[in-house]
Structure 1
Amino acid sequence: MVVDSFRLGIDFGTSSTVAALVGPDGRVRPLLFDSSPLLSSAVFVGPDGTPLTGVDAERAGLSYASGLEPNPKRRIDDGTLWLGEREVGVVDLIGVVLRRVAEEAYRVTGRSPAGVVVTHPAAWRQARLGLLAAAAAAAGLGDVRFVPEPVAAAAYFVRVLGHALPADRCLVVYDFGAGTFDVSVVRPAGPGFEVVASAGLPDVGGLDLDAAVVAHARALTGGAADAWSRLDWPQTPADQQARHALWRSAKAAKEQLSRHPAADLHVPLVGADVRVTREEFEKLATPLLDRTSALTLSVLREAGVAPEQVAGVFLVGGSSRIPLAATLLHRTLRIAPTALDYPELVVAEGSLHALNPPPFTAAPAPPGTQAPPHPGAPAAPVRRSSRASRARKLLAAGAAVVVVLAIVATVVVLKSLADPGPITGATKGPTLTGHTDDVTAVALGGPDGSLVASASDDDTIRFWGVETGKKDGPDLTGFSIAPDEIDFDPDGRRLLTLSGSTVQLWDTEKRRNAFDTIDELDTETGLPSPGSIADVAFVDGGKRVQAAFSYGSVLTWNTSDGKRVGTYPTVAGPDKLFSDVALSPDGKRLATVASKDGLRVYDVEKKSLVGGELKTTDGYSSFDHLTFSPDGTRLAVTNSYDVVVFDVGSGKVVDTFEGHTGSINTLAFSPDGTVLASAGNDNRILLWDLVAHRELTTALTGHQKKTGDSTNSITGLAFSADGNHLASSSTDKTVILWRMTRD
């Protein structure tokens, strides 16, 4: 069928790519590839260099596995990779998939599209969009327009399903795909939509649920060790085909369990059939799906969106079809999600209903790719939700009271170990500018305590002088994921960073990795599903680094060589999943929050509870942003707009502070533990006197907030070791230094 003109929408996915056409009559229909709307994103390059994609690529990869890349989207930051005996640019691989879409669209309509829209994750910025645009150009798609995936989903929710989304309400887009999970909060913006906040889990997707089914089959056929060895590491084409058949069968069983109470799985080479019940599958899937629900709740809290502001929860992505996903999400949010029969088609069709963005200007393709530069103009950047709550733990433990110079009358006298006096307030110092995206975390330290370090979503860490406010030396760059937690060690010679689940140590003087032989600390636990790293800190005077995982595991490394020195698996016991955790400065205590168990503190070495559940006098037990005092005797937490301080020993509330008008993102104790700073979405810093149990001074303001824009917020706070300075970071792309005033 030939139409006068049409537009093409493409959702380039990790495992599958979906495309939709809209003609002059406004009717949208999906493109079919081999009789299916889902085109496998796999790309195969054979010995002769001929590329294949879709089921053809998967079939060819059975006999020549080294020529297959099953998930090109995951490799977008790699530049080039080896397939078979040749080096191939990632842009070229993505271009192969997009070219297949372009060819099918031309076959159906007989002409090139009048416009092309390509969707992308909300967190992707200029560099990745440039590569995607270059791939589209290589595929012959011309000038493409980009739409964030959650914006496309919102357009479908409103303009296809007909749901209302008032200007003062938000839509939660729960995108559970094959390779990753993403959650976004979207709101109306003029005639279109904008992303208020977004976060994701790169290690949770449908493929991980398939792996859980395979692991279950392995457990039921454990005696066939030789057969499983061949399935795990196929050395022949026959073994490769058997492995492919096993994983396809696992995926089919998973999908069947969405509709039926049981499914059968054939395990090749083992020669056995395994029955999986829905109850067994849900037990396997619950730990992964609990993480998606917990992240959804966390994003809403960090965005300052109350339940009454949520107009709907929309499930998209093929893996969201699993009934348990909707059940757990409903239980967590108390809002019934909207689920469809074909959630994987939503984003591609929704992109054609979204407000058209301007064409994108691609930077020149990186060396080694065949894609030419692509002209155009960039789409408006989409802010990613910074996990700013982690910046609350940036202080080193046990900072000493410094020796000060005191002036008595007209005689200058040196007073060793003099008390500098209590903090009474703060005055605004310099505003540090230079980052090109949200500043996600801040730390004060350096060899002589004279440095400010800040991490940003522009994938850099910058340094400034505390006294001068001027840039100090080169930046740290090359992060594939923007750091969201940073901390100086006590002597200031090392900087600790957490980027996703990657922990790194940096030499602050040489501005390079601290180790010559490794780039990052080994976070492999050797344990089943440790979860994501939720807190990381220096302990033992900076001699060690400790990391706490969302499943309660605590790992320790030497900072001298990066070697792991011990592990305390599942400190809190089996089958635990925490929405937030915090390590005490000495590494001996772990504070946790879970939906069922509430707020609790564990002894890391003994793996036992310290007291009972921590609650307020009215029984409230849902908290986040956990932060220990420097001496570990107090635990500060937030419950939306309020700060609650517990005595760790007794478990009793010692302070409750009210005053914020937006949700709180970050907390920081002064080194002597007498002052607590809090900040968040109301763009104000409040100082609390923990001795007098009151607000210390009027709110500190200075970070910019655009008129009519409620998305800017303070993301991080950090005191200097001497307690004389406080630094704050913000989504306005700046850091502000505050000088503490004293009696």
Structure 2
Amino acid sequence: MSGPVRLAIDYGATSTVAVLAWPDGRWVPVAVDGNPVMPSAAWVAENSGVWTGQQAWQAAARQPHRFVAAPERFAEQTLTVDGQQVEATTLVAATLRRVAEHAGQVAGGPVEDVRLVVPAGWGPRRRTWMRHAAHRAGLGQPHLVEAPVAVADHLVASGEQMPVGAYLAVVDIGGGAEVTVLRRGPSGFEVLATLADPDAGGDAIDRALATALAGEAEGGWAWVASVRAAKEALAQHTAITVPQTDGTAVVATTMALEQAARPVLDRVGQLTCEAVAAAELTPADLTGVYLVGGTARLPQAATMITERTGLIPQVALDPTLAAAHGAVGASPAAAGGGDVGGQEPVPQVRRVLGIAVPGFASLILITQMLLTVTRGGVYPLEWAEPAWGLLAMAAVFAVIACLSAGTILGSLAAAHNPGPTTQSLAGTVSIGILSAVSLGAATASLYAVVAAQYLKMPVGPFLRWALYPVAPIVALALIAAVVAARQRRTPPGGWSALLAFPTSSVLTAAIGIGLVQYSNTAARWPDMLVWIDLAGRVGGLLLGVGTVLALVRPWALRLVLGAPLAVITAAITAPRITGTLAGIYATAVAGWWVYRLWTRLVRAPATP
């Protein structure tokens, strides 16, 4: 992706997040006060200055009458703050300005390409109001992106399978709740229905939990902040002590949180059903239900939607940043910053070729091996010498084809066997890779057994030649599955892009090894000797080129490394050498996987 640095800001009712992305695909969340999640609150000083973020909450503890917790909810209004008339636009602009300033410090200068995330239910007046706030903040004329559309783009870039014509529901639970039903069309996602309720989100849960802990006593903004922090901490702990403003403390438990959250999240489930009905659909028509927003992490959110719709929602990989990721055109990577999908999702035709080409190449090579076996001797001392290299290459291509279909296999598993493991993208991808590894290894073993039976030879050597070359590839793929399941990292462009092995390499190497085998086994008529030998040399050359195409991406470097390697592989072409050539290529495929895992999952790029 080319162009300038891009900044996406998701300004919500209670919190604001932003993502900064570079043309080369790197990204980083914009941290304000050391935290990627900045409160949207504002505090108005006596000189009409505006404090934002954590500074506003700290000031509210001393002078709560100057504090505005959610300026967005006063859109197009003028507020009276301690006798001063303050436009809500001014308060929102202060937060946007501060985010932009921190983004400029990270980017090394002002960011011109700015996208603002807005609710799908906002009409022209509110959208114009947000543009005015952005203009007052010095952001120029930002591009507005509807939150559920941005989330859907984020999901597709993450590897979610959503064919054209598919329906999905995005449930955004932040300070309030917004449920949107979308359809994927040929040119993108379109909103079919959207319903919102400001009292069906995290703010309502905070109020209910505060009441459950301290009764009807008014504790002020400091007490609200303590309750909110306790709610977030209960995601990792079963109980936590919450200090009160009078110096005492109460104990908040997960049971108390569940009781406080249940009626609020039940409303979210009801809102989901109403939105689906408003789109003139049924829950069975949906490809999936996806949860985003800070409150989406509460387990009860998914439970209540399941009770209402019968569907098992999936929580986005990073629900708080999901909309900002989609708006900036960046795919999610490692939490805390890292590579991002500045790359586009793998095109559908390219994905099909990535599966079909190695699959057909595998079948053709195993067939060629069975039909071109070198035989000799007389009964009962007959002997046969298979082309072991063709068996090894067929096994490698079979594993490549299966891994290229890994995300599809994961989606099929999630659709037919929904459960806790497949509720998240990480679980679906992990299952898909494990399924692909199992299928690829089973296919390679099947080749070995069938060939041994066909040639009436011991199966041991066939299994060794089929499984040894793919063992490093299988091991590296299993590492990717573990990373997906445990570390919850998603590579740039999504998992489909990471698993897509270069088709050009497969095609070139398959033709090359096929020509080498033809040269070794063809009838050597005197008038054809030159052409048969030439075919073998060209085959060796092509296999060397295919090896370089797998290992190196820049074309200049491919030319520099490809020429000598192609000459070497062409020079060593001879009978009984196919095994060596296959070993070279299998090593290159393993090297491709090592480089892929290191650059896209392990190494986090530095911010310029």
TM-superposed deviation, 1:267 = 2.4
Matched, 1:173 2:150: no
Match of 1:67 in 2: 66
TM-superposed deviation, 1:76 = 0.3
Matched, 1:53 2:43: no
For residues 215-230 of structure 1, what are the structure 2 equivalents within 5 Å?
Answer: 215-219=211-215, 228=217
For residues 555-704 of structure 1, what are the structure 2 equivalents within 5 Å?
Answer: none
Q: Secondary structure at the match of 1:19?
A: strand
The partner residue of 1:185 within 176, 181, 196 is 181
Give CA-to-partner distance per residue, 1:485-536, whole Å, 9 cap, x none. xxxxxxxxxxxxxxxxxxxxxxxxxxxxxxxxxxxxxxxxxxxxxxxxxxxx
Give CA-to-partner distance per residue, 1:194-237, whole Å, 9 cap, x none. 11100011222211111111111124xx8xxxxx3xx35xxxxx
Q: Secondary structure at the match of 1:62?
A: helix
Provide the TM-score with structure 2 as the length reference.
0.52
Matched, 1:158 2:134: no
Match of 2:288 in 1: 312
Match of 1:321 in 2: 297
2:42 and 2:274 mapped to 1: Cα distance?
36
Matched, 1:251 2:248: no
Give CA-to-partner distance per residue, 1:360-382, whole Å, 9 cap, x none. xxxxxxxxxxxxxxxxxxxxxxx
* C-alpha contact 1:168 1:309 (8 A) present in aligned 2: no
Give CA-to-partner distance per residue, 1:137-179, whole Å, 9 cap, x none. 11111121111111111111111x210111221111011102x
Give CA-to-partner distance per residue, 1:442-464, whole Å, 9 cap, x none. xxxxxxxxxxxxxxxxxxxxxxx
Provide the TM-score with structure 1 as the length reference.
0.43
Matched, 1:42 2:29: no
TM-superposed deviation, 1:4 = 8.3
1:291 and 1:344 mapped to 2: Cα distance?
21
Q: Secondary structure at the match of 1:155?
A: helix
Q: Secondary structure at the match of 1:344?
A: coil
1:25 and 1:244 mapped to 2: Cα distance?
43
1:310 and 1:38 mapped to 2: Cα distance?
31
TM-superposed deviation, 1:326 = 1.0
The partner residue of 2:208 within 212, 220, 225 is 212
* C-alpha contact 2:178 2:195 (8 A) present in aligned 1: yes
* C-alpha contact 1:43 1:93 (8 A) present in aligned 2: yes
* Equivalent residue letter for 1:142: G
Match of 1:265 in 2: 242
Whichever structure has more helix as a proportion of its residues is: 2
TM-superposed deviation, 1:190 = 3.0
Match of 1:332 in 2: 308
* C-alpha contact 2:165 2:185 (8 A) present in aligned 1: no
- Of the structure 1 ranges 304-313 and 3-12, higher mean CA displacement relative to structure 2 is found in 3-12
* C-alpha contact 2:145 2:327 (8 A) present in aligned 1: yes
TM-superposed deviation, 1:116 = 0.9
* C-alpha contact 1:16 1:39 (8 A) present in aligned 2: yes
Give CA-to-partner distance per residue, 1:658-688, whole Å, 9 cap, x none. xxxxxxxxxxxxxxxxxxxxxxxxxxxxxxx
* Equivalent residue letter for 2:36: P
TM-superposed deviation, 1:354 = 8.8
The partner residue of 2:135 within 137, 159, 165 is 137
* C-alpha contact 1:184 1:199 (8 A) present in aligned 2: yes
- The 1:68/1:298 distance shift into structure 2, 3 A limit, reads same
- The 1:49/1:245 distance shift into structure 2, 3 A limit, reads closer
1:199 and 1:96 mapped to 2: Cα distance?
29
Matched, 1:147 2:124: no
TM-superposed deviation, 1:321 = 0.9
1:185 and 1:33 mapped to 2: Cα distance?
33
Question: Percent identity between the aligned chains?
Answer: 35
The partner residue of 2:112 within 111, 114, 131 is 114
TM-superposed deviation, 1:322 = 0.7
Count how many residue pairs are aligned between Structure 1 and Structure 2. Answer: 330
* C-alpha contact 1:151 1:354 (8 A) present in aligned 2: no
1:54 and 1:320 mapped to 2: Cα distance?
22
2:317 and 2:299 mapped to 1: Cα distance?
11
- The 1:353/1:45 distance shift into structure 2, 3 A limit, reads same
2:255 and 2:137 mapped to 1: Cα distance?
45
Whichever structure has more strand as a proportion of its residues is: 1
- The 1:4/1:297 distance shift into structure 2, 3 A limit, reads closer
* C-alpha contact 1:172 1:183 (8 A) present in aligned 2: yes
* C-alpha contact 2:76 2:129 (8 A) present in aligned 1: no
2:64 and 2:231 mapped to 1: Cα distance?
25
1:111 and 1:261 mapped to 2: Cα distance?
45
1:346 and 1:313 mapped to 2: Cα distance?
14
* Equivalent residue letter for 1:83: V
2:27 and 2:167 mapped to 1: Cα distance?
26
- The 1:277/1:91 distance shift into structure 2, 3 A limit, reads closer
The partner residue of 1:197 within 193, 197, 213 is 193
Match of 1:274 in 2: 250
Q: Secondary structure at the match of 2:314?
A: coil
1:65 and 1:245 mapped to 2: Cα distance?
9
Match of 2:426 in 1: none
Gaps of at least 5 residues in structure 2 are 332-608
2:318 and 2:244 mapped to 1: Cα distance?
28
Q: Which has the larger radius of gyration?
A: 2
Q: Secondary structure at the match of 1:343?
A: coil
Q: Secondary structure at the match of 1:108?
A: helix
1:303 and 1:51 mapped to 2: Cα distance?
42
1:135 and 1:284 mapped to 2: Cα distance?
35
RMSD between aligned residues: 2.1
